[in-house]
Amino acid sequence: MRKKLDLNNTIFAYDNDPNILKATGYNNVDPLSARLDYKNAFYTRKWFEFDELGTGQIYMSASDLYKIEKYIMTGSYLSKKSRKELFKPGSGSTYGGGLYHRENDNFANGWGYGFQTVMHISHNGKNAVIVLENYSRLAADIKPAARTIYQMINEK
């Protein structure tokens, strides 16, 4: 899949190649502080990299993440029937298959290990906003800004 989608900036977190530079995540000792000083690096223990399947296990650029998400939304790997089953909400929250599904907005977000990621992508994969941040602060959540930008690019 990596070669098929031309993923050039994607590695597993547990790749120990010394020539690969990985981003460091940061957070504040006080999670409600909006202060940004990069003094509190979040160093993960080796077992964190295997803690949750798919969560915190991959480093990738925004462009590689877009390629993967667009392919999941529109590519030939999944049939329309498979996509419908994958994205079927499991509750009233509209969450299904790793995304929250709204009218022409498929949304995901994640926090952890000093990082925050927010993604919005249209059903056809043509419009997307992806924000990758290596400093997670509850007081400076990037979700509202990412949603506003996505709404702006989708205005008629």
Answer whether residue 134 shows pLDDT above 70. yes
Q: Looking up tokens 């070669």, which residue turns up? A: 3
Q: How many domains does the chain contain in total?
A: 1
In a domain, 23, yes or no: yes
In a domain, 103, yes or no: yes
Residue type, 16: N
Q: Which domain holds residue 21?
A: 10-153
In a domain, 118, yes or no: yes
Q: Within 13 Å, how many C-alpha atoms sit on residue 24's CB side?
A: 8
In a domain, 27, yes or no: yes
In a domain, 26, yes or no: yes
Give the whole-angstrom CA distance, residue 110 versus residue 80: 26
pTM of the complete model: 0.86
Higher pLDDT, 19 or 49: 19
Answer whether residue 80 shows pLDDT above 90. no
